[in-house]
Chain A
């Protein structure tokens, strides 16, 4: 069974930083593209970032970001630890949301889908 467990959320002041982690289990983590999606309170789903690149240990990875977070957020992964990260800097009030970690499914990047979802971690940006 695929399990994705996010952590690292909390209250942070505008302009601050936070690093989210996602512990994955139940599948060969290094073989799959991964993603972060967020959902502001009472709002819809909003894609944040993808990280591609399959294999074990060191390999070239590709990363993609929504325009709203480009230059402020950094997605990364540590395959030996089966862990996905999202480093969030220069946080704004509009970044307040539940952040979900996702395992991507599908054969081609243009047609990847969000196959498995974590339970999410809440990030609140407020003074």
Chain B
């Protein structure tokens, strides 16, 4: 059972907008720690997608955006594309430990 809770799966049609939630608690996200997001394409290593709640590393399309409020965070993907089909993980910090969400599988219909 993960410290951060994500929906196991989400789906959307090409061109649509989808969001992935990441719910924590007062000891992690609610304590002010930043949330980071990672994308893992099938058969590959994960890569950093969003850092510090809402910042994109260079090379990440602006179709990807992140936000944080209270004890939760969200990843939004607009203009969904087939190549966005992947697993997405949120990550934060809790009691001197780095914690991940359980991951969300995004299916592009």
Footprint of B on A, CB under 8 Å?
Answer: 35, 44-47, 50, 64, 66-67, 100, 105-106, 110-120
Contacts and interface: CB of A to CB of B under 8 A. Distances in A.
Interface residues of B, number: 24
Contacts of A47: 91, 97-100
26 contacts: A44-B89, A44-B102, A45-B38, A45-B89, A45-B91, A45-B103, A47-B91, A47-B97, A47-B100, A50-B98, A64-B96, A64-B97, A66-B97, A100-B46, A106-B34, A106-B51, A106-B52, A110-B93, A111-B34, A111-B52, A113-B36, A113-B48, A114-B38, A114-B46, A114-B48, A117-B46
A120 B45 CA distance: 7
Given A44-B89, A119-B45, A113 B100 contact: no
The dominant DSSP class at the B interface is strand
Interface in B24-75: 33-34, 36, 38, 45-48, 51-52, 57
